[in-house]
Structure 1
């Protein structure tokens, strides 16, 4: 990276990824809607050809058979081209959907003009096109479909076609016109119920996905605010901690303390806890990027986990830490302070619920062992049903203290940033367990790019 190049901020990357996911969701819904239109058009083509042949040969109503079959062939060619064109693509906009519906309206108008015009009972199929436009398109585009359908009906009135269909309602069900009306109603009802129902489900899934993304964006913003607050607090705490360290050093040399070993032990314990506070502040600043080195620290998975467990157990009053590591082979990874803090936070929650025993089991899952699985267990009272139902939400805690529940909320979002997942459950034998699953590819050391600065 040259001196004039700036590294992108994690917040900007996160916002870009969320916006990208939103656009991908919208594009995916557009593709599926276009697929539904293509399927509907195939069904309409089969129905058109069957109806044309039935009316021409069975009812002996002479139609311009060659011309009508030619219109159907053109529509079939258009549908095949649409299928081949849109299958490899992931982006279908409103303009493409509108154009497809207008082609359907034009083809329907041509077929009706050739087979009775406004006297054709299938003229009500315009309403199906209008309904599809109202479901698939924004308001302005749906009104374009309404205008096109209205223009088609008006054109059939002004320009009668070569065939006229006479209606004799007094014949009842024996009248071909009445039969056509019934067939049109059944066809419209079935297609509307089937395809509009599918499209509505697609749109509901899209809306649900967008709602999840909006919730994720709100959670990310909440995390950014907490990160800024923690970073500012860490800066502010640096000075008083340094002052306390100096005072403890002076007290160690004063007469009242030098002659009392018990007081010296208290000073040693205070110095140890003060050093731990400094380490916590340093960790906050590292996570905020204030003291992060540019070169990533390379280590291995086993070494990373063993060091983490050793450091955690040495600084926590845990009586028994049941640490089990089931790794067939060690793999190189990047030591990430955020991941270390997340695992430590999960262990802290387990320790608070069960001071006597905490379990940590590590394994690799998947066909090729591409997932890292860490299960943290405790022997406490377990999660409440409400806590499990709202798992991952901020301030979701049964501990009853202000600000509780942020630990798992932050851990869940850190896991999400690695492309992993976090889940919680109660153990059958009592207590709770939290399972963290991460793709090992997210922890791998990135390949170094060739240095081209000296290429000449």
Structure 2
């Protein structure tokens, strides 16, 4: 029985020897950039709370100094200080990398409801027109939380409003202004509506944008999972093919060994040379099959070693020219100061694959450009072939997307994109305006350096 690690190792070796790229890193957990939608939403709640603190300070100042309404400034200041402290705690939690679950968002909204309830109880209770601000918290809850949590917050908010109808500190108006109470209430309702409408429009829109981004990331993860499942199935086929090829290759090796001892065949130098070449080819095929079957546990196939960017590229170009018997490859070095890296077999096989594709379409000219862009290594392969069809550029990196018309073609670039992505890089392809195409591999040097 072949387990997951054995299968990954088999696939790495099979891909390397069959010339369809490298799958090193398959199944390894990388460190993708953190785009946690929960943290983004908690940050929006923090921003909303700062606005609430500033708005309450302005409202209290206008009521106390402008309208002459006596308010309990001490207790209200304590509530404001609590909101500030809650914001600082929330920012500290985000800075430490704490997870933001639905429970965290529920508690944050619940504390906002409690703070608003306390402020309203100190300034007229249910007679305060700013009770409509409860709707803002409920709107945010409906967007951010599950149905059960939203219903819970609705029940708590309703209970809080009921308490405000029974227990509150009445507003004390200046003498002679009691007749203005209803007009002030109407003005307060207008201000409260404007605040509610503006904040709901702004923050719900931003939260919805965060949720859409999160959905897009989940869709991308599903796509990657499907691609890796496809790669695993290819590994099963590779291991099965290796088992099946073992017996006929052994038979061919025995037959060729017998032919080498037959005088009627070895008497001809041309036939003897051809038999020797066939034995070398069979020996190479047997080595490939053996490597596939014995690769369990060897995630990279070959032990990595320290080198430099230029040495790595020089060795790679030499191996590729020797194996393809092709000297049409031109190399342009614009890297600048050399950098020590670990020789990565995966990257070597990726470049082999891209160079092979370019050679198939442009047998007389292939160019490899090596350059450095800040902390990024860029390797560009240019050819003078017909270029990529528009539909291929749109589906770059998807399996079986090929312009060569071969059955099962298009796997090479599919594996290239997946391996480079595992190393934290990107693959870009474009057509040149005067003919040919350019494939650029961009990799952070941090993924290759010690």
What is the TM-score of this pair, normalised by structure 1? 0.81
The whole-number CA distance in structure 1 between the counterparts of 2:288 and 2:263 is: 32
Shift of the 194–63 alpha-carbon distance from structure 1 to 2, 3 Å rule, reads same
CA contact (8 A) 2:7 2:236 kept: no
CA contact (8 A) 1:350 1:378 kept: yes
The whole-number CA distance in structure 2 between the counterparts of 1:7 and 1:316 is: 30
* Residue deviations 1:25-75 (CA, integer Å, cap 9, x gap): 4xx322222222122112112222322333344445x34342563354334
> Secondary structure of 1:372's match?
strand
Question: Which structure 2 residues correspond to residues 16-415 of structure 1 after superposition, within 5 A?
Answer: 17=29, 21=32, 24-25=34-35, 28-60=36-68, 62-66=69-73, 69-82=76-89, 85-86=92-93, 88-91=95-98, 92-159=100-167, 161-163=169-171, 175-254=183-262, 257-278=265-286, 280-281=288-289, 284=292, 289=297, 296-316=304-324, 318=326, 320-326=328-334, 328=336, 333-363=341-371, 365-367=372-374, 370-415=375-420
Shift of the 361–181 alpha-carbon distance from structure 1 to 2, 3 Å rule, reads same
What is the TM-score of this pair, normalised by structure 2? 0.81
* Displacement of 1:130: 0.4
CA RMSD of aligned residues (A): 3.5
The whole-number CA distance in structure 1 between the counterparts of 2:239 and 2:378 is: 30
The whole-number CA distance in structure 1 between the counterparts of 2:275 and 2:376 is: 45
CA contact (8 A) 1:319 1:355 kept: no
* Residue deviations 1:104-143 (CA, integer Å, cap 9, x gap): 1112112222333222222111110101112222333222
* Residue deviations 1:362-394 (CA, integer Å, cap 9, x gap): 33x133xx5433222221110011111111111
> Secondary structure of 1:274's match?
helix
* Displacement of 1:311: 3.1
Q: Which has the higher contact order (CA 8 A, sep 6+)?
A: 2
Q: Structure 1 stretch 69-78 or stretch 189-198: which is displaced more?
A: 69-78
The whole-number CA distance in structure 2 between the counterparts of 1:282 and 1:309 is: 26
* Displacement of 1:403: 1.6
Shift of the 409–284 alpha-carbon distance from structure 1 to 2, 3 Å rule, reads farther
CA contact (8 A) 2:300 2:346 kept: no
CA contact (8 A) 1:15 1:217 kept: no
How many residues align? The count is 426
Q: Structure 1 stretch 68-77 or stretch 182-191: which is displaced more?
A: 68-77
The whole-number CA distance in structure 1 between the counterparts of 2:188 and 2:420 is: 61
The whole-number CA distance in structure 2 between the counterparts of 1:154 and 1:116 is: 13
Q: Structure 1 stretch 415-424 or stretch 100-109: which is displaced more?
A: 415-424
* Residue deviations 1:157-206 (CA, integer Å, cap 9, x gap): 333542399xxxxx99x922222221111100001111121222222222
Shift of the 303–401 alpha-carbon distance from structure 1 to 2, 3 Å rule, reads same
Shift of the 360–417 alpha-carbon distance from structure 1 to 2, 3 Å rule, reads same
CA contact (8 A) 1:285 1:291 kept: no
The whole-number CA distance in structure 2 between the counterparts of 1:78 and 1:175 is: 35
